[in-house]
A and B are shown apart, each in its own frame.
Chain A
Amino acid sequence: MRSVAVVGASLAGLGAARALRAQGFDGALTLVGAEPHPPYDRPPLSKAVLLGTAGPADLDLCDPADADLAAEWRLGVPATGLDRHRRSVLLADGTEVRADGVVVATGALPRRLPGPPLAGVHVLRTREDAAALRGALTSGPRVVVVGGGFIGAEAASACAALGLDTTVVEAAPLPLAGVLGAEMAAHCADLHAAAGVRLLCGTGVARLLGTGRVRAVELADGRRLPADTVVAGIGAVPAADWLAGSGVAVADGVVCDGGGRTSVPGVVAVGDVARWRTPGGSVRAEHWTAAVEQPAVAVRNLLAGATVAEYRRPPYFWSDQYGVRVQFAGRRAPGDTVRVVEGDPAQRSFAAVYERAGAAAAVLAVDRARAFTRLRRTLTA
């Protein structure tokens, strides 16, 4: 393999570039990124950046050693297509990058609320999104966060910390129940109320009201919530449209085997855009750690031209909200029994283990990092 193009210059793309060089690839390396910025870290966007305790410089992922990557950076130019017969990545400016191997690392794009665009309605994925939202929070005291998942909860937590009147709207009966199971999700839902944030569950958003600028959120049951600012935290869709017609199979993410190889030889996919086969089924991980760890595996398989390595580590993510740190690792399934093994949910500090057939399948900790660190090691791949 004499040339590789990495498409998507963020966490997973940078990791792929580093892995290529670390694994001895000495051919031409090109990184293509739609954003004008060098790679930066997203988790602080909904935490320290919203709170104003971190600025853009704190997010940089590159370090001086990355000059040794000897890569050509094509930033600010999205890829628009992949021509596998000509082995070429097509770019929006009409140019193309010829490459024997391609790493797809285009991540995901935030889902937006339906309806015409209105001022005051925000998503949270990029540096610009975070800056815009932070700026908007001074424009009025009432914030409605749509979606009670991790990003929604973190945004609500930051708004509450900034003294804003905050409401979270969640369509499901309980936020995060699918991830944590109902019992543990209920403990996390309690964090909202303890911080004075209203959590409205079981009702979706019907529409946004306002002309030009949002005025209120109308729920499916007719209730109207006045809002100066609306934050949509309703998930993200894989940024895989540019692969249409390329032969690379996409089904809610780029379909990969257990080692990141796609349906097209010489093309691998990593990070939020990728759906890997795992011991827990076919999964789009959408977590920081997967985006960090998948690239070394995928690059190995890309360079080998075969799947010689698989990624089997149990998934892990964390979330900081309302002054506590939530950490979760493993694969929970319906029917697991869950047991608090340390601490007390009422004190907002506990660790719980999900068990299946007598073995630990997953572990959850709220402000119990030391216990979590130990229990995580009892999980089997």
Chain B
Amino acid sequence: MIRTCHLDDLPPGAVLRVPADVPIAVFNVDGEVYAIDDTCTHQDASLSDGWVEGRLVECPLHEAAFDLRTGAPTCLPARRPVRTHAVTVHPDGRVEVHVGVPAPGSGAGVAAGAAERGA
């Protein structure tokens, strides 16, 4: 499944919540676009409402942080990674989110390895 949005709606520093089977949060960090599951793996909070600092997003409810590149949590209370989704940005600004396809280099959800690489 592919979900699309447009860079016009996603300038650097912005985040979009894209509906899908499970909602996806799409972040533009200094021109790099990342897509992860929107729902925190700890309890029920929307990561698109979180605070982005570098390549980390901090959950708005209990401040677990996730690496946008790997989905790995970098601190408690989250223990499980969020899924990442591969993103293609086209020259015309179209952004395709390949739902369910892990982002390249994300470690495909191998949490421990991803946490180390992401740190």
Residues of A within 8 A of B (CB): 44, 48, 63, 288-289, 292, 318, 320, 325, 327, 369-370, 372-374, 377
Contacts and interface: CB of A to CB of B under 8 A. Distances in A.
Nearest to B43: A44
Contacts of A370: 48-50, 60
A369 B49 contact: yes
Interface residues of B, number: 14
A373 B79 contact: no
B16 to A, nearest CB: 12
Main SS of chain B's interface residues? loop
B114 to A, nearest CB: 16
Interface in B49-92: 49-51, 58, 60-62, 77, 79
B62 A373 contact: no
Nearest to B47: A369
Given A63-B79, A288-B62, A318-B61, A373 B49 contact: yes
Interface in B15-57: 43-46, 48-51
Contacts of A377: 51
B45 A369 contact: yes
A44 B46 CA distance: 17
Contact of A372 (B44, B58, B60, B77): B60
Contacts, number: 28
5 contacts: A288-B62, A292-B77, A369-B45, A369-B49, A370-B48
Most buried by B among A288, A289, A325, A374: A325
B117 to A, nearest CB: 19
A374 B60 CA distance: 9
Contacts of B58: 373
Contacts of B60: 327, 369-370, 372-373
Contact of B51 (A63, A325, A327, A374): A374
A99 B62 CA distance: 33
B50 A373 contact: yes
A320 B46 CA distance: 14
Nearest to A58: B43
B67 to A, nearest CB: 18
Contacts of B62: 288-289, 292
Given A292-B77, A370-B48, 17 more contacts: A44-B43, A48-B44, A63-B79, A288-B62, A318-B61, A320-B44, A325-B61, A369-B45, A369-B49, A369-B60, A370-B50, A370-B60, A373-B49, A373-B50, A373-B58, A374-B51, A377-B51
A370 B17 CA distance: 12
A348 to B, nearest CB: 16
A327 B59 CA distance: 13
Contacts of A325: 61
Contacts of B49: 369-370, 373
Most buried by B among A318, A320, A370: A370
